[in-house]
Amino acid sequence: MKLPNRNKVYIPRNKLLKYLLSETHPIGSKKAQFFLQIGFNKTNMRRLEDVLLKIGRTNEVKRVRKFEYGINYAIDGTMKTPIGKIVTITSVWFVKTVKSRPRFVTAYPV
pLDDT band for position 60 (50/70/90)? very high
Give the chain's mean pLDDT.
Answer: 96
The side-by-side arrangement of strands in the sheet containing 70-80 is 61-67, 70-80, 86-95, 103-109
- Entry pTM: 0.94
Give the pLDDT band (50/70/90) at residue 98.
Answer: confident
**Is the pLDDT assigned to residue 106 strictly greater than 90?**
yes
Cα distance between residue 49 and residue 58, in whole Å: 14
